[in-house]
Structure 1
Amino acid sequence: MKTKGLHCVSAQTTQDMSLCLCPKFLHTNSTSHTWPFSAIAELIDNAYDPDVSASQFWIDKTMVQGQECLSFMDNGNGLDHDTMHKMLSFGYSDKTAIKGLEPIGIYGNGFKSGSMRLGKDAIVFSKSKTTSCVGMLSQTYLEKIDAQQIIVPIVCFEKGERNEYILYLLR
């Protein structure tokens, strides 16, 4: 089992240094969406970026321990541990055009602002050809641990060369 280092989720700066963000930023950032449908549109847009290649998208509402939950699911390519970490970081995007199709998500903010506009917590489950990952962007978690910076736990299982699985823990 391999374990990678623990990190705060950061905002990219111009000198390629990291700047850790206060947990209150999650709510502040979410106010860029004045109504829930723009936040939902942001999550749908991500599924149709050329590097994701989703052809189907589902939205469902369910109850989990007495709480209403929305789930967003697509049949895209999935995320490996590096891509999951980048997706849950602020202001990071390395998306480029693929076969002439321009990506929508180029600023590295849409998932974070959209998901936090719809709720206080987002859990991301992703499966690609070689990796299964779970990431948690949670205002509730950060409040409970009295966090001074945004911390995003990420757990990934990666299939090795001999069909063995390697566990990555990122935070």
Structure 2
Amino acid sequence: MAAQTNRGVPLSTLCPKYLHSNSTSHTWPFSAIAELIDNAYDPDVSAKQFWIDKTMVQGQECLSFMDNGNGLDYETMHKMLSFGYSDKTAIKGIKPIGMYGNGFKSGSMRLGKDAIVFSKSERASCVGMLSQTYLEEIGANQISVPIVCFEQRQTDKYILHLLH
């Protein structure tokens, strides 16, 4: 049954198969990698360095992408793992590359079936997951993105956010 607004109008949903079909907009892996690098250098991220590494995890090849940018809080992580959200603006005359809210999803899913995002910002530490494997395992009929986030609200108190 479709989720409905308070007026009874069904909300649009995304089928998990969309993650793969959307990724085919990248005809080769290097354009997907470029998409992920571009995100790190948007002016609101302010990354000065970017690293790419390949490692084995339980017999599976894994790529990791890491930057030293500003990091994501709970709301920003959720938007980044959702489709079509982009509130990027120019900062000091530098325009962001991304503007449609699709690059991370298409790029990461072109490179693999699963993406786990670890982020630490000034006030929060978050982990989010965009995973075709997870969605297949739970028999999902729409895309869901599990997120766990610890936000520091005061100097000695943390708030735990769970979103699924």
Q: TM-score, normalised by structure 2?
A: 0.93
Residue 118 of structure 1 aligns with which residue? 111
User: 2 CA distance for matches of 1:68 and 1:57?
Assistant: 20
Cα deviation for residue 123 of structure 1 reads: 0.1
What's the counterpart of residue 61 of structure 1? 54
Query: How much does 1:162 deviate?
Result: 3.8
User: How many residues were matched structurally?
Assistant: 156
Alignment RMSD: 1.2
Distance, in Å, in 1 between the alignment partners of 2:32 and 2:136 is: 23
* Cα distance in 2, alignment partners of residues 69 and 20 from structure 1: 29
Instruction: Report whether the alignment pairs 1:167 with 2:150.
Output: no
Letter in 2 for 1:166: I
1:90 aligns with 2:90: no
- The answer to whether structure 1 residue 103 and structure 2 residue 58 are counterparts is no
1:147 is the counterpart of 2:136: no
Give 3-state SS (helix, strand or coil) of 2:42's partner: coil
Shift of 1:19: 2.1
Gap regions ≥5 residues in structure 1: 1-7, 9-16
| Offset of residue 18 of structure 1 | 5.0
What is the percentage of aligned positions where both structures have the same residue? Answer: 82
Whole-Å Cα distance in 2 between the matches of residues 43 and 19 of structure 1?
27
User: Using a 3 Å threshold, how does the CA distance of structure 1 residues 41 and 116 change in structure 2: closer, same or farther?
Assistant: same
- Residue type at the aligned position of 1:129: E
Q: Which runs of 5+ in 2 are unaligned?
A: 4-9
Task: Kindly provide the amino acid, as one letter, of the partner of residue 13 in structure 2.
Answer: C
Give the Cα separation in 1 of the matches to 2:85 and 2:13. 13
Instruction: Using the TM superposition, name which of 153-162 and 57-66 deviates more.
Output: 153-162
Equivalent residue letter for 1:87: M
- The answer for the alignment partner of 1:5 in structure 2 is none
2:1 is the counterpart of 1:47: no
User: Structure with the greater relative contact order (CA < 8 A, sep ≥ 6): 1 or 2?
Assistant: 1
Question: What code does the residue aligned with 1:64 have?
Answer: V
Normalised by the length of structure 1, the TM-score is 0.89
Of 121, 130, 133, the residue aligned with 1:128 is 121
Work out whether 1:79 is the aligned partner of 2:67.
no
1:12 — aligned with what?
none
CA gap 1:125/1:131 in 2 versus in 1, 3 angstroms: same
> Of 3, 26, 29, which residue of structure 1 is paired with 2:22?
29
Give the 3-state SS of the residue equivalent to 1:29 in structure 2. Answer: helix
Letter in 2 for 1:82: E
Distance across 2 between alignment mates of 1:97 and 1:152: 28
